[in-house]
């Protein structure tokens, strides 16, 4: 089932990625309800983060995160806060009960430089499935449409890597990730290469 149904759901989850990633116990609901000292979510002082987020992508029924773990316990705390907060919000808003996320989160350790570099592209290419579900099996039908869609997709970190200045870029903490892409053109070219490679393989 879908875990995001509209722009507000996606946008709120992006704020959660930023807010709950803190050694302090920060609650997005408390921040948004604070009438005495109103503070935009993106400018709060989080203190020390639990994990370092390198990339993310939100899809209608799932999401992908690339995180650098500082401590295994802290990573678990971050994910628990993230999933619990979104589940409570979603169940209340849509008058539903029960678990929103099925089973345990799937985690995979990234080993090797080449694979880590690929993960940045893999995560950001996910939205292509929204406009063409079979693109990996059958190739891209309309390359220009796909490139435009990816560049305008708000709910991933693609636009941050493509050089757009926006408040959501504060979700990312890239200082301890390798600098594979020295300029935004390098990253965009990397994505296009993967799209073209997939097409050429068909």
Per-residue confidence in pLDDT tens, the chain, 202 aa: 899 999 999 999 999 999 999 998 877 766 666 544 555 677 778 889 999 999 999 999 999 999 999 888 999 999 999 999 999 999 999 998 878 877 666 778 888 889 999 999 999 999 999 999 999 888 899 999 999 999 999 999 999 999 999 999 999 999 999 988 878 888 888 898 888 876 766 5
Residue 43: Cβ within 10 Å count: 8
The pLDDT of residue 121 is 93
**pLDDT (0 to 100) of residue 36:** 46
SS in 3 state form for 45-107?
CCCCCCEEEEEEEEECCEEEEEEEECCHHHHHHHHHHHHHHHHHHHHHHCCCCCCCCCCCCCC
- Position 56 scores a pLDDT of 98
Residue 14 is predicted with a pLDDT of 95
Task: Please give the pLDDT value at position 34.
Answer: 55
pLDDT at residue number 25: 81
Cα–Cα distance for residue pair 119/117, rounded to 1 Å = 5
Closest by CA position to 79, among listed 124, 156, 20:
20
List the chain domain ranges. Answer: 7-93, 113-165+176-200
pTM for this model (two decimals):
0.89
């Amino acid at each position: 089932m879908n875990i995001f149904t509209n722009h507000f759901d996606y946008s709120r989850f992006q704020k959660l990625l930023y807010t709950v990633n803190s050694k302090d116990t920060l609650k997005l609901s408390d921040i948004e309800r604070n009438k005495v000292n109103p503070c935009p979510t993106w400018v709060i002082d989080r203190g020390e983060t639990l994990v370092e987020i390198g990339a993310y992508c939100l899809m209608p029924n799932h999401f992908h995160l690339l995180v650098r773990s500082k401590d295994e316990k802290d990573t678990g705390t971050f994910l628990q806060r993230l999933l619990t907060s979104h589940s409570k919000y979603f169940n209340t808003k849509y008058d539903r009960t029960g678990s929103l996320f099925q089973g345990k989160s799937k985690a995979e350790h990234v080993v090797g430089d080449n694979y880590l570099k690929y993960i940045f592209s893999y995560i950001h290419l996910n939205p292509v499935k929204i406009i063409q579900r079979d693109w990996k099996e059958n190739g891209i039908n309309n390359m220009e449409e796909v490139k435009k869609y990816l560049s305008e997709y708000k709910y991933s970190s693609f636009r941050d890597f493509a050089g757009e200045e926006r408040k959501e870029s504060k979700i990312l903490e890239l200082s301890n990730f390798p600098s594979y892409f020295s300029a935004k053109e390098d990253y965009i070219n990397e994505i296009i290469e993967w799209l073209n490679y997939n097409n050429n393989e068909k």
